[in-house]
A and B are shown apart, each in its own frame.
Chain A
Amino acid sequence: MSDTKKYLVGMFDDDDVLVHAVKDVRNAGYEITDAFTPFPVHGLEHAMGLEPTRIHTAGFFFGATGFTVAFSMIMFINKFNYPTDFGGKPDFGFLAYVPIIFEHTVLFSAIGMTVSFYYLCKLWPGKKPKIIDERTTDHLFALTFELDSSKDAKYIDSVSELLKKEGAIEVYQKEV
């Protein structure tokens, strides 16, 4: 996975300018590859037309799994594997199991979602990141446009010009 790609990068120094620029660039018909920001910019995912994440749906199913595991395991243990008779009380007193079932639901959901998050974002300890510009974790915002073989000099010129008009403080090409 060491193949590098070439990008046209537009740097912005304000989040509001960035969101505005994203809208205009997309309206002009150019496809934005990605944006890099130092903090979650509200409205950016909307402006970029990103699909809403489904990580919370995954969380629900992980939670449901946790519920089922805890419920069925306690059921198996107390009802079938080792039923104990405490003065004729029922083998399966559901209310007393609510705390553990609840904790298990939360535990499965949280772990499942967090692991999914790192899996989907392809982040792991020791990963070698492809950093477009080091300043994007600090105070600047970057818009990137992938430059594959179909993009000619005319495309680069017109995108660069549009970015500058939208308030980009720098526009440059970079291969990472």
Chain B
Amino acid sequence: MASHFESPLREPLIFGNKTYKQITIDIVKPTTGKVQPKWLFWTLVSAAFAGLFVFCITWEVCFGIGTWGANKTVGWAWDITNFVWWIGIGHAGTLISAILLLFRQKWRTGVNRAAEAMTIFAVICAGQFPIFHMGRVWDAFFIFPYPNTRGPLWVNFTSPLLWDVFAISTYFTVSLLFWYTGLVPDFGTVRDQSKTSGRWKFYNFLSFGWVGSAKHWERWESLSLILAGLSTPLVLSVHTIVSFDFATSIVPGWHTTIMPPYFVAGAIFSGFAMVLTLMLVARHVMNLQEYITLAHIESMNKVMLLTGTMVGIAYLTELFTAWYSGNIYESYAFANRAFGPYWWAYWAMMFCNLVSPQVFWFRKLRRNIAVTFVMSILINIGMWFERFVIIVISLHRDYLPSSWVYYSPTWVEIGIFVGTIGLFMTLFLLFCRFFPAIAIAEVKAILKVSGNQYRQKQLEEVKNQEVYKNTSVEAGTWD
């Protein structure tokens, strides 16, 4: 690793003059010791909301889909809005762990573990919505093609809804394998740090008996790289296929070819917002500021600026196409979005997703934690509204004015949605407590390149060179 050249302009990703030993201590620490009252409190609060989810879902299963506000005109409403929102949030984890691995972005090592965990938890939450929207959930297995006594009556392989079944189940499985294989060596580390035999057995079970042999590492690296290579087209395909659910229909506002790239950019955008929301809290609570640095936050904010602007361009392109197509139904759909009864949802989406991320053109704001936190919340809200706008506003006024309705959610729908947030938070808090929240081995592997003491040494060596005149390097700093 030491032979690897890194520009001295690049700022350190690990602060605090860490040694390999210190990295182990810092990252294993949150999983040991007494349960903190603060953690217990928030976990119980989240679990209570997860309980609300169970209650509302039970209600829906007992009394039927009629307990939702969705109806004949607005057949998809909060359920599919929430489904797409959660799936989108999942995308950041795979982007960080897979695409950034292929691009050799070192900053991924600080956040990939937690982001991948979020992917898995978000997909779990997302999956609830289409499954329970089926109504007769006990027949949910009908979506899989298996020989049956009904003909055999097979599933429709030309339907984007079936593509979704395959895309999301594959995405969940591959993300889980990728995440867990990354965790195995770190479980080995936690095991070897454990003081009691119960703990040792628990983490040894999770670590599959990992010892870190050279051959195992070689295979592990190869496996990680290939899984990353597979996950990259996979993650793009998943949200593309989700967008096909809309794009292959003939509903004005849905039937557009811009949908796949627009959905993928939006997914990455919302995913990074959620990663930032949680990581800004987690790094503070778990004292990980030296591993999740301002450089990490700035990089993620840059990704949000890029993808947010892409999404914004897609919004404007949609408007242009609606006007330029000369199709009255298409242009009505968009006029109705902006000035119809749901105008507030449309402008909330425009403000949160297109206007507000523009603050990240300024470096000072990209590196400001308070601004980033507020922005991440705004973007989460904005991206939820985007899906609401696409789904509900396109449907509520269809071709037949006599069937136009104004859709509002019922308490059951609200309870299910809030409940999935509780479920997500419960899983995430359990993860933070019992699993190493940062990839220990991967952080150690970049220490000699990105540790602050090594970066400082390199800076001292090169700062008098001609090429670095009038740069921050000459001043002996990265800022």
Given contacts A53-B218, A134-B192, A137-B189, whether A128 and B213 have CB atoms under 8 Å apart is: no
| A residues with CB within 8 A of B | 15-16, 34-42, 44-45, 48, 50, 52-53, 55-56, 59, 73-74, 77-78, 81-82, 93, 96-97, 99-100, 102-104, 106-107, 109-111, 113-114, 117-118, 120-121, 123-132, 134-139
Which chain A residues border B445 with CB–CB below 8 Å?
Answer: 39-42
B209–A128 touching, CB < 8 Å: yes
The answer to whether residues A110 and B163 also contact, given A99-B237, A120-B219 and a CB cut-off of 8 A, is: no
Q: Which residues of B contact A106 (CB under 8 A)?
A: 170, 174, 230, 233-234
Min distance, Cβ B14 to any Cβ of chain A, angstroms: 13
Within 8 A of A (CB), among B169-200: 169-170, 173-174, 177-178, 181, 184-185, 188-189, 191-193
Return the contact of B2 from the options A16, A104, A130 (Cβ within 8 A).
Answer: A16
Which one of B4, B208, B226, B440 lies within 8 Å of A59 (CB-CB)? B226
The secondary-structure label for the interface of chain B is helix
Select which of A40, A118, A120 is within 8 A of B441 by beta carbon.
Answer: A40
Interface of A is mostly: helix
User: Which residue of chain A has the shortest Cβ distance to B154 in the bound complex?
Assistant: A77
- 30 A-B contacts (beta carbon < 8 Å): A35-B214, A36-B212, A38-B212, A40-B217, A41-B445, A42-B1, A45-B218, A55-B222, A78-B154, A81-B152, A93-B158, A99-B160, A99-B167, A106-B170, A106-B233, A107-B169, A118-B208, A120-B219, A121-B213, A121-B219, A123-B210, A125-B205, A127-B204, A129-B188, A129-B211, A136-B212, A137-B188, A137-B191, A137-B211, A139-B19
* Smallest CB separation, B99 vs chain A (Å): 15
* Chain B interface size range: 35 or more
B221 within 8 A of A: yes
Please, which residues of chain A bring their CB within 8 A of the CB of B113?
A: none
Write out the residue numbers on chain A whose beta carbons fall within 8 Å of the beta carbon of B1.
15-16, 41-42
Central interface residue in B19, B211, B218, by most chain A CB within 10 Å: B211
Interface residues of B (CB under 8 A from A): 1-2, 4, 19-21, 24, 145, 151-154, 157-158, 160, 162-163, 166-167, 169-170, 173-174, 177-178, 181, 184-185, 188-189, 191-193, 204-223, 225-227, 230, 233-234, 237, 241, 244, 440-442, 444-445, 448
When C-beta atoms are compared, the residue in chain A nearest to B213 turns out to be A34
User: Is the beta-carbon distance between A139 and B21 smaller than 8 angstroms?
Assistant: yes
CB of B162, distance to nearest CB on chain A (Å): 7
- Report how far A68 CA is from B278 CA in the complex, Å: 41
Asked whether A38 lies within 8 Å of B241 as measured between CB atoms, the reply is no
Which residue in B20, B184, B188, B211 is a CB contact (below 8 Å) of A130? B211
